[in-house]
């Protein structure tokens, strides 16, 4: 045990699960905030669950929501954290066009609620704060690669809300001396990635097509380019930011960008299906070379009102100041995700077959 106490909002999400695991390994007492849900939402942290009645339990969950400052103040007061990682968010860019007000409330004002709680409780000198900022802040391309000094130009309600979160974090650092840092993280994925983000949607569909459970994968814009890294490596970067003497803002990225289409091709290769791309725009299709079957088609429903075309990050500052580097390349990440989804889909198939 290292005696430190961490509080993670968004503990049930992809990053929350990896971060909780990392902090427990490092000997922290970890408190996580989870939302009340009518269905099960703790699947990603099942392996970390500890009976709170056990004397040596170090992982605790609390009900809470970023849109409710009363619970945030109460949880922070009760847990007296040394480090708060604010990972909770309505994190889906396309969904933010459908729920812009809620997204602003949770992702923007939610960040303020936590910072204010730290201030109200007089924890400015004790509690360090990490804000989950995003490469979506760069939006419309201003400069490549994108670094801490690249101007922001948000292109969605999600990015606009996160822009508020970014600046209010900087402001509370400067105004009240809180050790508050922004991690400007480029896309990071894993087998724990939510199933509606493009990488996981692809790897799951590839597994389902391979096992005969799905016929075709429908996607939106195949031309967007993303800088994809592994989530497990990125949460280490978050922790490193919190260990620095001085708070600061850092980009975490791989420095390599990949077009969505190539990720799809690579994912199918993993199950020994060679794809050929035919047609253009909404008529573009991914066709199996061996059988001529259409396995990928475009559905304009997944186009966004405004798109972020190109993300490629420059992680030099994180490398030099934090000693952070990434290891997993996008194609290895893709392969890992497909292999994990093959297991999941096969299990679902067995369950279905058993009735
Ligand atoms: P996920 O969508 O997997 O997880 C989001 C988490 O936030 C879930 O635990 C979710 O709960 C919770 N949550 C959502 N709304 C609220 C709310 N109103 N109050 C409390 N909790 C809430 O996201 P990731 O793990 O991928 O990302 C973590 C953070 O990092 C997010 O803030 C995201 O915007 C940001 N980010 C992510 C990047 C990525 O590539 N993954 C890149 C850059 C930034 P539930 O499980 O109940 O839905
Ligand atoms: P992004 O991730 O918007 O970058 O946000 P997402 O995987 O949703 O989209 C990446 C790109 O793929 C294109 N795309 C599709 N996207 C989805 N979800 N579904 C599709 O069918 C599809 N077809 C094509 C998108 O148009 C886009 O260009 C993620 C989230 O984790 C944010 O919370 C985080 O801040 C950023 O990454 C960095």
Best of 8, 13, 86 to mutate for ligand 1, by most ligand atoms within 8 A of CB?
13
Distance 91 CA to ligand 1 centre (A): 5
355 pLDDT exceeds 90? Answer: no
Distance 30 CA to ligand 2 centre (A): 30
What does the pLDDT look like over 1-21, one tens digit per residue?
Answer: 788 999 999 999 999 999 999
What does the pLDDT look like over 235-278, one tens digit per residue?
Answer: 999 999 999 999 999 999 999 999 999 999 999 999 999 999 99
Q: How many CB atoms lie within 10 A of CB 201?
A: 17
What b/e string do you get for 264-289 counting C-beta neighbours within 10 Å, with b at 16 or more? bbbbbbbbebebeeeeeeeebebbbe
For residue 354, what pLDDT is reported?
Answer: 86
The rounded mean pLDDT for the chain is 97
Which domains are present in the chain? 5-189+229-256 (3.40.50.720), 198-225+259-308+329-353 (3.90.25.10)
Q: Using a 6 Å cutoff on CB, does residue 48 contact ligand 1?
A: no
For residue 7, what pLDDT is reported?
Answer: 98
For residue 352, what pLDDT is reported?
Answer: 87
For residue 3, what pLDDT is reported?
Answer: 87
For residue 108, what pLDDT is reported?
Answer: 98
What does the pLDDT look like over 37-91, one tens digit per residue?
Answer: 999 999 999 999 888 888 889 999 999 999 999 999 999 999 999 999 999 999 9
What does the pLDDT look like over 121-180, one tens digit per residue?
Answer: 999 999 999 999 999 999 999 999 999 999 999 999 999 999 999 999 999 999 999 999
Q: Using a 6 Å cutoff on CB, does residue 82 contact ligand 2?
A: no
């Amino acid at each position: 045990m290292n005696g430190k106490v961490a509080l993670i909002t968004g503990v049930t999400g992809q990053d929350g699960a990896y971060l909780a695991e990392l902090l427990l390994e490092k000997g922290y007492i970890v408190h996580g905030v989870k939302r009340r849900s009518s269905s099960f939402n703790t699947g990603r942290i099942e392996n970390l669950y500890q009976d709170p009645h056990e004397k040596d339990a170090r992982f605790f969950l609390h009900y809470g929501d970023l849109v409710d400052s009363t619970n945030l103040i109460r949880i922070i007061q009760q847990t007296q954290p040394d480090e708060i990682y604010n990972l909770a968010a309505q994190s889906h860019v396309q969904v933010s066009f459908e729920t812009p007000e809620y997204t602003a409330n949770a992702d923007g004002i939610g960040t303020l609620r936590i910072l204010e709680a730290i201030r109200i409780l007089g924890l400015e000198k004790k509690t360090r704060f990490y804000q989950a900022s995003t490469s979506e802040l760069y939006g419309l391309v201003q400069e490549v690669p994108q670094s801490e000094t690249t101007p922001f130009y948000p292109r969605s309600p999600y990015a606009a809300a996160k822009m508020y979160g970014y600046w209010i974090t900087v402001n509370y650092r400067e105004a009240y001396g809180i050790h508050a840092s922004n991690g400007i993280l480029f896309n990071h994925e894993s087998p724990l990635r939510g199933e509606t983000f493009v990488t996981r949607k692809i790897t799951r569909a590839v597994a389902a097509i391979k096992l005969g459970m799905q016929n075709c994968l429908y996607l939106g814009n195949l031309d967007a380019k993303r800088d994809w890294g592994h989530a497990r490596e990125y949460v280490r970067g978050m922790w490193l930011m919190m260990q620095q003497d001085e708070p600061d803002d850092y980009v975490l990225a791989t420095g390599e960008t990949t077009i969505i289409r190539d990720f799809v091709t690579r994912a199918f290769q993993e199950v020994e299906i060679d794809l050929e791309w035919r047609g253009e725009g909404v008529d573009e299709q991914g066709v199996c070379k061996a059988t001529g079957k259409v396995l990928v088609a475009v559905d304009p429903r997944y186009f966004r009102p405004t798109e972020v075309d190109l993300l490629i990050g420059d992680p030099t500052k994180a490398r030099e100041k934090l000693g952070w580097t990434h290891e997993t390349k996008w194609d290895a990440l893709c392969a890992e995700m497909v292999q994990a989804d093959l297991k999941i889909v096969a299990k679902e198939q067995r369950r279905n077959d058993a009735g």
